[in-house]
Amino acid sequence: MNILAAATKRHTAKAYDPTRRVPDELMQQIYGLLRNSPSSVNSQPWHFIVASTPEAKARMAKGAQGGFSYNEAKIVNASHVILFCVRADADQQHLDQVLEQEQRDGRFRDEAAKAGQAKGRLGYVNLHRYTQKDLPQWLEKQVYIALGSAMLGAANLGIDTTPMEGIDVATLDAEFGLHERGLTSLVMLSFGYHAETDFNAGLPKSRLAEQQVFTFL
């Protein structure tokens, strides 16, 4: 699909057909998109928990109870659900892990290049930790880049999605033991094919006019 056509056709699904499943080979492409998403200084401060069985989706749905119950059906009736998690801190262990992976992937011509990358990335981390004092928010921004990549990629594959910030992050953190792993849940994304009852599927897309959102110099 043409990328602009995919973006125009994409909508947030409000109801899913529980009888339809996204083929595994398409979901593998989504996983690849997530893993290859860009992030500032290649910080990659994310972790993705995937639920595709009724039992796994029921665990995810524990985060959509009470005041968030309006999202429960979008979880249990979807084909796949991914919980986007963010690192609580860009600690040295994580930074070292990223650096060593970069070396294995052949990104450094010599030790000086490796040391320069490590210094530059730590400089940005410390800028947000100590100077701007917004490290958690900065890390979350990187995860939202991955969210956008997954949504557009899914639309290009003909897959419907629903991003959900209306989730009980404390319940999900406890359910999946995230704090013990230095993580916290951030946002959830359902994948599948919309049901005929999805009112949003038939509505025209509405965006502000080009002249309102662009300044061409």
Residues with a catalytic annotation lie at 14, 74, 165
Question: What are the DSSP calls for the chain, one per residue?
Answer: --HHHHHHH--B-SSB-TT----HHHHHHHHHHHHT---GGG---EEEEEE-SHHHHHHHHTTS-GGGGGGHHHHHSSSEEEEEEEES---HHHHHHHHHHHHHTT--SSHHHHHHHHHHHHHHHHIIIIIS--HHHHHHHHHHHHHHHHHHHHHHTT-EEEEE--S-HHHHHHHTT-GGGTEEEEEEEEEE-B-TT-GGGGSPP----HHHH----
